[in-house]
Chains A and B, each alone.
Chain A
Amino acid sequence: MNETSTGLKAEVVPPVAETEGQKERAQIEAGIADLQRIEQLLVALKEVGVPQVEILEAALAGGSSLTALQQFLVKQLSPEQMQQLNKAIEAMQSTENS
């Protein structure tokens, strides 16, 4: 695929695990982080009364397009629900970062 007219491409350097143990450890830690991230979002959605599976389904259907998901959210949620959800997510992220 021709990425850009100018031919510029971003370089991605994959992390290198030094030993098998470290590799396994990194995988488990990533798994735990995934679980925690999903759990926190599901809790935030539940708090605001937003159907969890429907939102995830919309995210899946939209592929990598955030626009499609945004349009779905705007259609499905009232501005108040959206603000509540955003606050819940912000609270979740601040806990995660603290």
Chain B
Amino acid sequence: MAHASSVATNLTTQTLEQLNAKYDELKKEFQHKHQDVVKWMETKGLTLADVSSLSKQVVAAVSLATQVAIAQPVEAQVQQNLAAIEQKQKNELLTQISEQEYEEIMQKMLGYVNSPVGHLKQQDELYLEQQLSDFLGFEVAAELEGHRLNHSISIMGGEQHLRRYPTDTLAEHDAYQEAGIAPNRGAFGWFTENGQLTEEAILREKYYFAVQTLYLPDWNTNHQELKPWYKFRKMIVINPADRMAVVGVVGDAGPAMWVKKQSGGSPEIIREGKIWSPNARGRTILLFVDDPTDEVPLGPINLDALNLSILASTQGASL
């Protein structure tokens, strides 16, 4: 037995040596061929495993972006929307907000989200809507077209992925699979458009909110009118503690009252908006986005970065 064990150990060692030699050879070759990438990795302190993970992200993003490029041969809608918003901000010189005012808004919002859930006093609500609309470059409101949820200040819980079409599975979702997938479709139906999984449909599921439409006072008597109005209605969640916001759409109804949370966010919203960071703990502001021409793109907004960009364009404009 001792002999057999020794042979097995030798074989293992030999294989490991061979593998190690191959690895070293590959590394040398890589370092020689891609000196600029290796230098970049060194400056960023990245390992090969880190860059391998980035490679996977690039591959997935290329695949998705290609679908958009093929579907819309001239310009991808994402690009158009982003450019439109950037231009809108420049045109309207939303540079009226100074650094000091920005800090004041952030501090006020932090105070708001730490107050009891529900709605703000009318005066505070108007102030917030106006300041945020100016700052973001698009209109936001707690009440839109006569519709108002029961809470604009809420604790947002994390939801699972939603099935976008009847045969959709968790494996088809490209991120945050650890969140799982809900067994039933969302309360507002499938995300697909005419049976097609469009880029828009993918983005809507990625950035969906669950709101408590079921507890609206007139839901039971007026749901035939209310349901289509709320379906995929654009909203924005603000997390002032981490200075993040995420634009998404209403994609599900909930959470149930007993959960003691007043709104829900998709795995993407929760993670990219840092909604459950130790500072935020789900305390957020949820407002409607008034976007009749569908110009505001879905996805996260780093408020500090947006502020810097506005300040930079102020300085550019004043030169």
B-contacting residues of A (Cβ < 8 Å)? 1-6, 8-10, 12, 21, 24-25, 28-39, 41-42, 52-53, 55-57, 59-60, 62-71, 73-75, 77, 79, 82-83, 85-86, 89, 93
Contacts and interface: CB of A to CB of B under 8 A. Distances in A.
A56 B19 contact: no
B6 to A, nearest CB: 13
A10 B64 contact: no
A66 B179 contact: no
Contact of A38 (B30, B79, B157): B30
Interface residues of B, number: 74
A73 to B, nearest CB: 4
B264 A70 contact: no
B59 A89 contact: yes
Interface string B47-66: 01101101111111111111
Contacts, number: 180
Contacts of B158: 1-5
- The secondary-structure label for the interface of chain A is helix
B251 interface: no
Contact of A82 (B48, B62, B254): B62
A5 B261 contact: yes
B159 A35 contact: no
B171 interface: no
Contact of B160 (A4, A32, A33): A4
B59 A25 contact: no
A9 B180 contact: yes
Contacts of B76: 74, 79
A51 to B, nearest CB: 10
B69 A74 contact: yes
Interface string B7-22: 0010011011001101
Interface of B: 9, 12-13, 15-16, 19-20, 22-23, 26-27, 30, 33-34, 36-37, 40, 44, 46, 48-49, 51-52, 54-66, 68-70, 73, 76, 78-79, 82, 157-160, 174-180, 182, 203, 206, 210, 254-256, 259, 261, 264, 268, 271-272, 276, 282, 297-300
Contacts of B58: 41, 55-56, 59, 69
Nearest to A8: B180
Contact of A70 (B23, B27, B61): B61
Given A1-B276, A31-B23, A31-B48, 7 more contacts: A5-B255, A65-B268, A70-B78, A71-B79, A71-B299, A74-B79, A83-B70
A70 B62 CA distance: 7
B134 to A, nearest CB: 24
A10 B51 CA distance: 26
B65 A25 contact: no
Contacts of A30: 49
B50 to A, nearest CB: 8
Contacts of B259: 5
A85 B70 CA distance: 13
B183 to A, nearest CB: 10
A37 B65 contact: no
Contacts of A12: 178
A62 B300 CA distance: 10
A59 B57 CA distance: 7
9 interchain residue pairs of minimum CB distance: A34-B52, A79-B69, A69-B61, A86-B66, A5-B157, A59-B54, A74-B76, A5-B255, A21-B12
A86 B16 CA distance: 36
A9 B292 CA distance: 37
B241 to A, nearest CB: 14
A83 B69 contact: yes
